[in-house]
Structure 1
Amino acid sequence: MAISVMLSKLGEGMAVSLLIFVVTLVFSLPLGMLVAFGRMAKNPLVRGIFKVYISIMRGTPLMLQLMMIYFGPFYLFGIQNTPTWKNTAVAVGFVLNYAAYFAEIYRGGIESIPNGQYEAAKILGYSKGQTFMRIILPQVVKVILPSVTNETITLVKDTSLAFTIGILEMFTVAKALASAQASMIPFIFAGVFYYIFNFVVAFLMERLEKKLNYYK
């Protein structure tokens, strides 16, 4: 197989990996914030529910979660799987999993802010919403950005787990090509693609981190 054809097929797989990456970030980042609020709720029942959710998502493999979401409706309710459900299951699995990780990152960042800042904002007449959006959140973003960067880089590599339920992302395409040609070349190209993907993500996050370090 010509190198150009191989790169074309890997490029198609890379596009699927990129789509999984983008969808996961777009939905898991805001969902993670909501989960963090639930985890810090004063109501013990609400706090307990979100604590259990985070524990399950972080304590079981993402691969297993994808399989449970994809096959669950069939085995539990007899609902036949459809081609579109495969894509939906991947999106739901990745978003729910990464929302749990981001929630704990958010929680750590929020709890690192001194209580004095909340008290000062209250004296100045800020509402709770204004205090969080204008004073707390900007500081939290600076604190958690390195951890978010690490999770984002991990997400790039975790997109390969979509093969579990038959999604043809880049790693799956590389395995198929390597098997068909009895060659390591597709894996080498896939490794280069992943490295470039991660390099771009790390570069952009580093630029953002430097931009937020306005006191240095």
Structure 2
Amino acid sequence: MGDRVEPRDAVPVRHPGRWVAIVVLAVLAAMLVHTVLTNDNFRWDVVGEYVFSGPILNGLKNTLILTVLSMVIGILGGIGLAIMRLSPNPVLSSVAWIYIWVFRGTPLIAQLLFWNFLAALYPFLSLGVPFGPSLVVFDTNQLINQFAACLLGLGLNEAAYMSEIVRGGIQSVDHGQTEAAGALGMSRSQTLRRIVLPQAMRVIVPPTGNETISMLKTTSLVVVIGYFELLTSAQRIYSTNFQTIPLLIVAALWYLALTSILSIGQFYVERYYGRGVATDSSPGRMAAFLTQRSGEGAR
């Protein structure tokens, strides 16, 4: 027999740098909390006075309406553009590519201003026979008001980004499934609706959630055309009482609250569409699985 190996005590590896980093972060956090609580210039009394005030809540309502409607336009438009990009028809594919190139390549503020001042380019918009008589004529200023300009600017811009997200999701589905659906006699639209899109949702949902959270904050850009939303309402208040920082804190608190709610919702939606794909490695489920397998082996 060989020489017996004596057991040795394992010495854990020490990481002094981690402890130094923890101490530094703790000191910085304590300094931040101290200055927030002791600096009277934050005017927390003013924050509490305006956080639930009428103008702020009205602006918050408009922000939520803009976010929801703009995302609906963006998602529906993005699906249509993605289908056009993937179409074998070169005309449809080229039109979608040009749309995406234009709307992703120009600043959103410029697009908002363009739609708001469209009447300077077209005082009247008409529907009728191409190169022929007009059947219906609209006053552009009345048809595209501030709210419509906000929706057009935000929604059409978002459609360009959503199209790339949807296109990536569709392309993530194995092409063999499309061929199998065609072999079963399913049309292209049926295959897309029943086979491809349900599986692509696992890839589409996470970035769509991020786009929704981003849209909530991007709505603040409509201040450039004077539409009344959350940040605009805060600006109008501090332009009269000169409490700039407290009113900005009020707006920031609402944005943080709403983005937190959206993040929680995104988590559950992702988990729903990730069923059967994501591996659940929680200790309880793993133990149950091992117990079940051992029971089957004993039988």
TM-score when scaled to structure 1? 0.92
Indicate the residue corresponding to 1:49 in structure 2: 95
- Alpha-carbon distance between aligned partners in 1 of 2:123 and 2:196, rounded to the nearest angstrom: 47
Indicate the residue corresponding to 1:103 in structure 2: 163
Q: Which has the higher helix share?
A: 1
Query: Of the candidates 169, 183, 190, which is equivalent to residue 229 of structure 2?
Result: 169
What is the one-letter code of the residue matched to 1:213?
G
C-alpha contact 1:6 1:186 (8 A) present in aligned 2: no
Work out which structure has the larger RCO, using CA pairs closer than 8 Å and 6 or more positions apart in sequence.
1
Indicate the residue corresponding to 1:81 in structure 2: 141
Indicate the residue corresponding to 2:240 in structure 1: 180
Cα deviation digits, residues 120-151 of structure 1 (max 9, x gap): 22233333222211211111111111111111
- Alpha-carbon distance between aligned partners in 1 of 2:167 and 2:198, rounded to the nearest angstrom: 14
* TM superposition shift of 1:97: 0.6
Q: Does 1:141 align with 2:201?
A: yes
* TM superposition shift of 1:5: 8.0
What is the one-letter code of the residue matched to 1:198?
T
C-alpha contact 2:50 2:247 (8 A) present in aligned 1: no
Q: Does 1:40 align with 2:86?
A: yes
Q: Does 1:200 align with 2:261?
A: yes
C-alpha contact 1:36 1:107 (8 A) present in aligned 2: yes
Q: Secondary structure at the match of 2:145?
A: helix
Runs of 4+ residues over 6 Å off in structure 1: none
- Alpha-carbon distance between aligned partners in 1 of 2:52 and 2:195, rounded to the nearest angstrom: 51
* TM superposition shift of 1:8: 2.1
Q: Does 1:152 align with 2:212?
A: yes
Q: CA RMSD in A?
A: 1.9
1:108-147 paired onto structure 2 within 5 Å:
108-147=168-207
What is the one-letter code of the residue matched to 1:203?
I
* TM superposition shift of 1:48: 1.4
C-alpha contact 1:17 1:170 (8 A) present in aligned 2: yes
C-alpha contact 1:90 1:162 (8 A) present in aligned 2: yes
C-alpha contact 1:28 1:98 (8 A) present in aligned 2: yes
* TM superposition shift of 1:192: 0.5
* 5+ long unaligned stretches in structure 2: 1-45, 125-139, 279-299
* TM superposition shift of 1:29: 1.0
TM-score when scaled to structure 2? 0.67
Cα deviation digits, residues 84-113 of structure 1 (max 9, x gap): 611111111111111111111111111122
* TM superposition shift of 1:63: 0.8
- Alpha-carbon distance between aligned partners in 2 of 1:41 and 1:137, rounded to the nearest angstrom: 15
C-alpha contact 2:50 2:250 (8 A) present in aligned 1: no
Which 10-residue stretch deviates more, 82-91 or 103-112?
82-91
Number of residues paired by the alignment? 215
C-alpha contact 2:112 2:153 (8 A) present in aligned 1: yes
- Alpha-carbon distance between aligned partners in 2 of 1:206 and 1:143, rounded to the nearest angstrom: 13
Query: Of the candidates 270, 280, 295, which is equivalent to residue 209 of structure 1?
Result: 270
- Alpha-carbon distance between aligned partners in 2 of 1:84 and 1:131, rounded to the nearest angstrom: 38
* TM superposition shift of 1:83: 8.9
C-alpha contact 1:170 1:190 (8 A) present in aligned 2: yes
Indicate the residue corresponding to 2:112 in structure 1: 66
- Alpha-carbon distance between aligned partners in 2 of 1:142 and 1:136, rounded to the nearest angstrom: 11
Cα deviation digits, residues 22-46 of structure 1 (max 9, x gap): 1112222112111111122222222
* TM superposition shift of 1:179: 2.4
C-alpha contact 2:123 2:141 (8 A) present in aligned 1: no
